[in-house]
């Protein structure tokens, strides 16, 4: 009986791993504006010049022509590697419209960079990326730093101003937590 339970728990754990790596590798969301956004987690090798152009365009469109080149892409990928960060992109009709770079800390997920191209700002893309991160992470807390003028945007997305950073407490459990909790109920 113990072997069967152990085997079943192992299979359940493998299912959770499969779910995290395959099923959750992309997520389609419908924004309040009716926009369909596909969010995908990317490996470092999948980060492209198009993703870098998204970042440049979001912060200063003039940077795109001067800063978006192979050297800058190589530096960005190196930075993602050395900081143990990960990236997700948001696409609308196969075009990258947003990108988020984040790091999982021991007690929270930290958003290092959130960029949405100007044509898609205020259309729910940033919210879709944050919602996607909530579905990926095991952490219940997401933090970020925001400039004073940006804080209102993040407050609309559920973040609270904590002085030196902004924080969002997510009460929704991840799929693995739901499965594990369900198992605790069945076994006990």
Instruction: Please determine, for residue 36, whether its predicted confidence score (pLDDT) is greater than 80.
Output: yes
pLDDT digits (tens, 9 = 90+) for 68-105: 889 999 999 999 999 989 999 999 999 999 999 999 99
pLDDT given for residue 68 in this prediction: 85
Query: Domain range holding 39?
Result: 2-187
pLDDT digits (tens, 9 = 90+) for 145-173: 999 888 998 999 999 999 889 999 875 54
pLDDT digits (tens, 9 = 90+) for 46-77: 999 999 989 988 888 777 667 788 999 999 99
pLDDT given for residue 60 in this prediction: 82
pLDDT given for residue 10 in this prediction: 44
pLDDT given for residue 30 in this prediction: 87
pLDDT given for residue 113 in this prediction: 94
With helix as H, strand as E and coil as C, how does 126-168 read? Answer: HHHHHHHHHHHCCCCEEEECCCHHHHHHHHHCCCEECCCCEEE
Total of domains in the chain: 1
Average of per-residue pLDDT across 11-23: 41
Residue 28: name the closest of 103, 75, 94 by CA. Answer: 94
- We report the CATH number of the domain holding residue 96 as 3.40.630.30
């Amino acid at each position: 009986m113990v072997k069967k339970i152990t085997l079943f728990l192992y299979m359940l754990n493998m299912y959770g791993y499969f779910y995290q790596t395959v099923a959750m590798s992309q997520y389609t969301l419908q924004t309040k504006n009716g926009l369909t956004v596909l969010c995908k987690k990317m490996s470092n090798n999948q980060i492209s010049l198009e993703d870098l152009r998204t970042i440049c365009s979001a912060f200063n469109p003039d940077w795109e022509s001067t800063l978006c080149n192979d050297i800058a892409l190589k530096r960005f990928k190196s930075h993602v590697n050395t900081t143990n960060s990960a990236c997700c992109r948001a696409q609308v009709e196969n075009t990258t419209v947003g990108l988020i770079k984040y790091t999982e800390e021991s007690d929270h997920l930290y958003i290092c960079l959130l960029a949405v191209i100007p044509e898609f700002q205020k259309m729910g893309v940033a919210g879709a990326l944050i919602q996607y991160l909530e579905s990926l992470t095991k952490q219940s807390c997401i933090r970020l730093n925001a400039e004073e003028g940006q804080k209102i945007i993040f407050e609309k997305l559920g973040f609270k101003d904590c002085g030196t950073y902004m924080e969002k407490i997510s009460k929704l459990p991840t799929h693995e937590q739901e499965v594990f909790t369900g198992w605790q109920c069945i076994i006990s």
